[in-house]
Chain A
Amino acid sequence: QVQLQESGPGLVKPSETLSLTCNVSGVSISSYYWSWIRQPLGKGLEWIGHIYYSGSTNYNPSLKSRVTISVDTSNNQFSLRLRSVTAADTAIYYCARYRGVLGADYWGQGTLVTVSS
């Protein structure tokens, strides 16, 4: 079955770069969009951005200047880099498969990233 699994450091220092990887299994990453979404504890969902398997990206305008999403089709995974983090970037980060009008149908379990010195 389709599974997504986020991995990466759970603690990042302010001003540094948050880096996460989403490993996809059970389906080829060579179709659809692959998204990053985050959720501050106790708050709502915020879309960060996504990448099409071809490599084209779209980002949330509010985060665009700090975000890079990349894809590694050979390893069936995609990654998030968020630069110059602050405490406001502390959140649970989810990866998900986004199929356009068909919605985001598969999600990772989420990983908590805390920004603190």
Chain B
Amino acid sequence: EIVLTQSPAIVSLSPGDSATLSCRASQTITSDLAWYQQKPGQAPRLLIYEASNRATGIPARFSGSGSGTDFTLTISSLEPEDFAVYYCQQSSNWPPLLTFGGGTKVEIK
């Protein structure tokens, strides 16, 4: 079973700052890695799929990168609405079993 470890658990930043969120897999995975944003009281929202592709309607300040075991979500200049919890997710090849990371909370400094 692949385990996804996200770091840091919490990061305190100011609007306008850049955020770099890490997701590390316990073994090499394909680029089938997604990132989601979740705000309080809301369902998660897909941001990035296949490690680096933005989902429909996602602003360009969100970018994903990485391969193998190390993946990164970067938010280039934090807007007030970006303060939220972010999760990474991967799927094993076959059978397609999903795993989520534990999440990173981006809070206002």
- A binding-site residues for B, Cβ under 8 Å: 33, 35, 37, 44-47, 50, 58, 60-61, 94, 96, 98, 100-105, 107-110
Q: Please count the residue pairs between chain A and chain B whose beta carbons lie under 8 angstroms apart in the complex.
A: 66
Q: Are A47 and B55 in contact (CB under 8 A)?
A: no
Q: Are A100 and B91 in contact (CB under 8 A)?
A: yes
In the complex, A98→B100 CA distance in Å?
A: 14
Encoded as 1 (CB less than 8 Å from any A CB) or 0, chain B from 72 to 108 comes to: 0000000000000001010100011111111100000
A interface majority secondary structure: strand
- CB nearest to A98 among chain B residues: B98
Q: For chain B, which range describes its interface: under 10, 10 to 19, 20 to 34, or 35 or more residues?
A: 20 to 34
Question: In the complex, which residues of chain A have a beta carbon less than 8 angstroms from the beta carbon of B95?
Answer: 58
Q: Are B55 and A44 in contact (CB under 8 A)?
A: no
Query: Shortest beta-carbon distance, A98 to chain B, in Å?
Result: 7
A104-B44, A104-B89 provided; 6 other pairs, C-beta below 8 A? A45-B36, A45-B38, A47-B89, A61-B1, A98-B98, A100-B91
A102-B49, A103-B55 as given contacts; A58 in contact with B100, CB under 8 Å? no
Query: Shortest beta-carbon distance, A59 to chain B, in Å?
Result: 8
